[in-house]
Amino acid sequence: MQQPGRAAEIKAIGIGKSFGSFRALDNLSLNIGRGEFLTLLGPSGSGKTTFLMILAGFVQPTEGKLFSDGTDITDRPAEQRAAGMVFQGYALFPHMSVEANIAFPLKVRKKSASEIKKRVGEMIERVGLIGHEKKLPSQLSGGQQQRVALARALVFEPGVLLLDEPFSALDKSLRGQMQAEMKRLHQETGTTFVFVTHDQSEALALSSRVAIFNHGKLLQVGAPDEVYDRPDNRFVAEFLGEINMLPLKGVQPADNGSTGLCEDRAVNMHCKAEKVLGDAILAIRPEHMSIAREAAVGENGIAATATASTYLGAATKLDLTTRQGAKVTVSVPNEVAAAALSKGNSVWLTWPAEKGFLLPDGGQ
Amino acid sequence: MRSYLSDRMGAALLMAPLLLFLVLAYAWPFLGVVKWSFTLPTPGLGQYEALLTDDLVQSVFIRTLRIAAIVTVVSVCAAYAITVVWVRGTPAQRLIAEFCILVPFWISVLTRAFGWVALLSNRGLINTWLQAIGFISEPLALVRNEFGVIVGMTHFLIPFAVFPLASAMRSLDDRVLLAARGLGSSRMRTFWTVFVPMTRSGIIGSAMIVFVFSLGFFVTPAILGGGRSVMIAELIYLRIFQSPDWGLGAAISVVLVLFVSVLMAVLFRYVKPKQLI
């Protein structure tokens, strides 16, 4: 976080934070790699924003250590860490023009007038705000204010950029546009980005890694496809998107993964079963299941009856009930859904062995 | 659902007694004062001509503006410091600040003026102590002059200066201050380049209130000025009650009211009334 123009590597060891008797963050250890785009994801009150504030230096951890490029910065005040920060609601200086807002961190660093002019000009061009230099923040749209906030946080080339739910106030189409822009800025600057959101699709779309928080604990960190396809626990599985959970009995290791009984039918999984032998839960994403007239021998499948459908445009969401009463949702092509419903009786749900994963029975 | 019209009627009815009182007690008598200014002792613009030529009246006007300006600057600065503590301090600091702001409201202006006389006069507490420790040999002239007037007025007006400032500081978004610090700005720099400019409307409102109040001060300058620092209100009193010069007294009043009205009009272009409380 100190040398301009160089992405920082951050290491958090055993970070904890209590507000009175409330435990906001508990024993968090996490490495944030140089130049990575890490998203902190979780519901509100999960500790993700507290961790971001600790990284920024606005909140002092109750215990634990924080290192930046190997230097202990746990006790270093915010103004000396100088991480770039974009706040929820942008927190622009309302009495300063766009130009003055972006120049602020450079003026604080006592850069020469000519350098400030040059770098502010470059930044304004980079975020597409040419023609708005003299305007006040109140004269800009939400998206433009967002750009000013990004420019202001990046203009002094911080080692890390911290972003606290920056898109929560934008409408959906603008959100998509700003997400693309942020991804571009990440690539261009090469800086380490730490991004807080409660929107799982945003997290999966943007990040190189996602860290999922709940109740002050870091539950899992991994690449988007890793946490989505192979969640460690039920909370992560459910938080990242809709998921079907089927009870499994007699789970045991097999060649090439594991095997178990789902509604009295043998099913195979590619994942290992060492943590969840015996009874477990089989979790499958709705888009990974398909509807078939019957399941072949050796293919994963259970019988179910379609009960309702929701037309989503590109696909249809189909609700089904299995023979033993488990509720399942699948996402299937529209004509398949119509056919399954019109039959009104039994269909088969099938899924590839690599798409089903095991979670501990009943546990979080 | 109640209609917009009946809401407006209700509001008008609730405000009617106050409006009626203001018209009967202020506007109507003031029209009489305006009439005097054009008719006494003889009809015409003679009193207003006298205003422009009378050296005494002009020197009092200039002194009043000077004292009001000094009192405004000192009061707003002092009030700013107190308000920062009141709005942003720790709970204990807030309590103390609140006590300091509210207690003066319970003590009459007369009591406070005499209190300052007891402190500041030649044989008052301050001079006695300073002489006792040998710091001075002759008593300092702290009262019966402009200095005493300014001290007394400032003390009276600081609590009034606090409210517009507090309103501005309360509406300030904390994240903007965090943003400044996160961008590398020290606490001091953040205060001067972000906090103070963002409370600008409060500073303007506070300064205008203090300035306008200062122009009409009567009791404090009369007691602490000891007749040597006459301000406009006292001059009007002297013209009406001491010398039978009602016409000139009325003309000064009219000019003062017009001046204050213009100031208020300017004030409300920059500040909404609700920001002043």
**Interface size between A and B, measured as CB pairs under 8 A:** 68
Rounded-to-integer distance, Cα B162 and Cα B126, Å: 27
pLDDT in tens, B162-185: 999 999 999 999 899 999 999 999
Give the range among A306-315, B26-35, B200-209 with minimum mean pLDDT.
A306-315
Q: Is the same domain home to A327 and A210? A: no
Task: Give me the pLDDT at residue A65, please.
Answer: 94
What average pLDDT does this structure show over B62-88? 95
B172–A contact, CB cutoff 8 A: no
Across the interface, do B184 and A152 touch by the CB < 8 Å criterion? no
* Interval B207-231 mean pLDDT: 89
pLDDT digits (tens, 9 = 90+) for A233-286: 889 999 998 899 888 888 888 877 888 888 888 888 887 766 667 888 888 999
Which of A180, A205, A234 finishes a domain?
A: A234
Count the Cβ atoms, other than its own, within 10 Å of residue A141: 11
pLDDT bracket for residue A2 (50, 70, 90): very low
Identify whether residues A167 and A251 lie together within a single domain.
no
User: Over chain A, what is the mean pLDDT?
Assistant: 88
**CB of A272 within 8 A of CB of A258?**
yes
Mark yes or no for CB contact B184/A108 under 8 Å.
yes
Q: What are phi and psi of A211, to 5 degrees?
A: -115, 120
Question: Is the pLDDT assigned to residue A1 strictly greater than 60?
Answer: no
With CB atoms and an 8 Å threshold, state whether A108 touches B198.
no
Q: How far apart are CA A247 and CA A302, in angstroms?
A: 12
More confident residue, A45 or B80: B80
Is A2 contained in some domain? no
**Nearest CB to A108: which of B173, B175, B183?**
B183
Average pLDDT over residues A354-358: 85
Q: In this structure, what CATH number is given to the domain that contains residue A217?
A: 3.40.50.300
**Domain final residue pick, A203, A234, A265:** A234
- Asked, for residue A5, whether it belongs to a domain, the answer is no
Task: Render pLDDT for A179-218 as a digit per residue (tens, 0 to 9).
Answer: 888 899 999 889 999 999 988 888 998 999 999 999 999 9
Nearest by CB to A79, from B186, B193, B197: name it: B186
**Tens-digit pLDDT profile for residues A67-79:** 999 999 999 998 8
Contact B186/A at CB under 8 A: yes
Q: Which residue among B185, B197, B200 places its CB closest to the CB of A108?
A: B185
Provide the ipTM: 0.78
Give the burial class of B60: count Cβ atoms within 10 A of its Cβ; 0-12 exposed, 13-18 middle, 19 or more buried.
buried
Write down the pLDDT at residue B277.
64
Judgement on whether residues A56 and A94 belong to the same structural domain of the protein: yes
Q: What pLDDT is attached to residue B66? A: 95
Beta strands in chain B (DSSP E): none
Q: How far is A352 from chain B (nearest CA, A)?
A: 49
Residue A146 sits in the same domain as residue A188? yes
Cα dist from A130 to A135, A156, A166, A239, A269, whole Å = 11, 19, 22, 40, 55
Residues of A in contact with B186 (CB under 8 A): 79
The mean per-residue pLDDT over the stretch B83-106 comes to 91
B184 interaction partners in chain A (CB closer than 8 Å): 79-80, 82, 105, 108-109, 156
pLDDT in the model for residue A4: 47
Q: Which of B151, B123, B144, B160 is nearest to B229 (CA)?
A: B144
Last residue of a domain, one of A234, A269, A287: A234
pLDDT at A155: 94
In terms of domains, do A210 and A253 share one? no
Whether the predicted pLDDT of A114 surpasses 50:
yes
The distance of A100 to chain B (nearest Cα, Å) reads 11
Boundaries of every domain in chain B: 1-39, 54-276
Quote the pLDDT of residue A343: 65
* Residues spanned by the domain of A81: 10-234
Option in A82, A85, A109 nearest B179 (CB)? A85
- pLDDT-derived band at A306 (thresholds 50, 70, 90) equals confident
Interval B182-215: pLDDT, tens: 999 999 999 999 999 999 989 999 999 999 999 9
pLDDT exceeds 80 at position A162 = yes
A252 located within any domain: yes
Q: Radius of gyration of chain B from Cα atoms?
A: 23
pLDDT tops 60 at residue A302? yes
| Confidence at residue A355, expressed as pLDDT on a 0 to 100 scale | 86
Angle at A136 between CA A140 and CA A103, to 5 degrees: 110
Question: Which residues of A make CB contacts under 8 Å with B?
Answer: 56-58, 77-80, 82-85, 87-89, 91-95, 104-105, 108-109, 152-153, 156, 162
Same domain? For A352 and A217 the reply is no
- Please tell me if residue B196 touches chain A, with a CB cutoff of 8 Å: no
- Does domain B54-276 fall under CATH 1.10.10.10? My reply is no
Domain-located, residue A28: yes
Contacts of B45 (CB under 8 A, 6+ apart): B38
Residue A102 lies in a domain: yes
Q: Give the total number of structural domains in chain A.
A: 2
Whole-number pLDDT of residue B192: 95
Average pLDDT, chain B: 89
Q: Does B181 contact A at CB distance below 8 Å?
A: yes
Q: Do A176 and A301 belong together in one domain?
A: no
